[in-house]
Amino acid sequence: TTMALTEDFVYFSLDWPHMHHLVALVCLVVVVYKLNMLLAKRKTTFRNMEAFSGPPGHWLFGHFKQDGTELFKIVQWGKLYPYAFPLWFGPFVCFLNIHHPDYVKTILTSTEPKDDFAYRFIESWIGEGLLVSKGQKWFRHRRLLTPGFHYDVLKPYVKLMSDSAKTMLYTIKNESGSITQRKTSYTKTNESFELFQHVSLMTLDSILKCAFSYSSNCQTEGGTNTYIKAVYELSDLINLRFRMFPYHNDLIFYLSPHGFRYRKARHVSRIHTEEVIRKRKEALKNETELERVQVKRNLDFLDILLFAKDEDQQGLSDEDIRAEVDTFMFEGHDTTASGLSFILYCLACHPEHQKLCREEIIEVLDGKDTFEWEDLSKIPYTTMCIKECLRLYPPVPGMSRKITKPLTFFDGRTLPEGCHVGTSVFGIHRNANVWENPDVFDPLRFLPENVSERSPHAFVPFSAGPRNCIGQNFAMNEMKIATALVLKRYQLIEDPALKPKIIPRLVLRSLNGIHIKIKPVDPQV
């Protein structure tokens, strides 16, 4: 009997028409099951969000087209739907978009984990570093990494940041065409150039020098740096995956051409990271104590990672070290590049404020061409202008969390466990109920007396609460130094024909780049 059953099975297995029918039937059952699950999820989401009205969206594509207007739509919708409203990304994923400090306080003062859905795409790139980790792992890593951002560690970075900024000025001078040297005379032209690419290379160069004591030639290589290209590719593909419903499925994305490009770019990124770590381990193989390293040279972020020990004298695993290096390499250069690019663009658009900043900077530098640690606190007006630029163009335009318990906001509306909450930093910073004339550039908003009158959650370019950006002082220092050295050398001029079409990626970007014109402050320099 067993033999007969086996023969029947083999015969049926080899009967290909029947086999095709069976496979088709199984596939149909799986598709119907998955579709029912997704429709049930959609129905549950509508029920969870019933306390919050919002703008109508397309049943399939949700609320956005990537045309450079979506962030301004959030601001406009915010006027119609105070505090919060639902936003759909495709037919099955919905976030409660919050855009008011009183709502933001509720979510950012908690230690809720970063959103599993939104951040799992990033995690597949940078690993479970500080940006995406949660629970005890996040607490442990945050505690171990905090010494890496002490002012004693940050202080020596000022000269390195200045050196990187000066290299950027040299490359801008050569490429922009604004100054052409002919023997001893200079000829001025009136051509704009794309700024973001230069700033990205500068911030990568800076983060490698400061955090990893790794000297690269990424600025002088031109636009050929493979790591920068990989980061751009990964950022765009993660954003694409987030917004395209079929790509939410791991298998579909893996088999797609975009999935192939993603894996290729991720491979380039990881090789770069592993090479940085390998070289440092090789250099430290005979060292056993951080203090002995500090006697020989200034400590950096990677030293602290490699020597970090918790109360049980347990250090970070090789995987944890790679994840934190990838996280800091991405966050430490891409977010700062976005912030600095829009700062320079903003100052080009407001020459009267640019002039006041330049006068302050020239007085502080007093003939020097390099910034020093003590100078950072001596440029208050420039600092206020930088903050106003970060208000109008926050480097990270939004953040998301997935709540692990029911959440009640100050007005009594609630969300059940498991809902996605998106914090629109761009929306908060341009909320007319919080900021008077929010679209007007006014650095005096950041005078101490004006700051004290606002909610501390009205201005959150580096997030807030326990999960705020651990590297915010590093980023602010770099933006101050680069802005000061650029303004000392050049007058920045807006190109009205090439206004940026801003879009939310992992960081704030422009569809058409960020273009400005420059003119030397001193033509003989």
Count other Cβ atoms within 10 Å, centred on residue 296. 8
Helices and strands in the chain: count of H runs, count of E runs: 21, 13
Taking the chain, what is the end-to-end CA distance rounded to the nearest angstrom? 97
Q: Is 349 a known ligand-binding residue? A: no
- Residue 262 has phi, psi (to 5 degrees) of -60, -50
Distance of CA 449 to the CA centre of its chain: 30
Lookup result for tokens 């297995």? 13
Distances (CA, A) of 188 to 24, 185, 523: 69, 10, 9
Contact between residue 211 and residue 149 where contact means Cβ atoms under 8 Å apart:
no
Helix/strand/coil percentages in the chain, nearest 5: 55, 10, 30
Q: Could you give the angle at the alpha carbon of 396 between the alpha carbons of 394 and 401, nearest 5°?
A: 130
Element (H, E) at 348: helix 336-349
Angle, helices 196-212 vs 157-176, to 10°: value is 160
Please state, in angstroms and rounded to a whole number, the distance separating the CA atoms of residues 274 and 292. 24
Region of 93 on the Ramachandran plot (φ > 0 left; ψ -120 to 50 alpha; else beta): beta
Distances (CA, A) of 2 to 10, 15, 244, 298, 390: 12, 20, 50, 76, 75
- Residue 35 has phi, psi (to 5 degrees) of -65, -40
In sign, the C-alpha dihedral spanning 76, 77, 83, 87 is: negative
Which tokens sit at 111? Answer: 């230690």
Please state, in angstroms and rounded to a whole number, the distance separating the CA atoms of residues 400 and 477. 26
Buried b (16+ CB within 10 A) or exposed e, 393-407: bbbbbbbbbbbeeeb
Contact between residue 422 and residue 398 where contact means Cβ atoms under 8 Å apart:
yes
What are the binding residues for heme? 469
What are the binding residues? 469
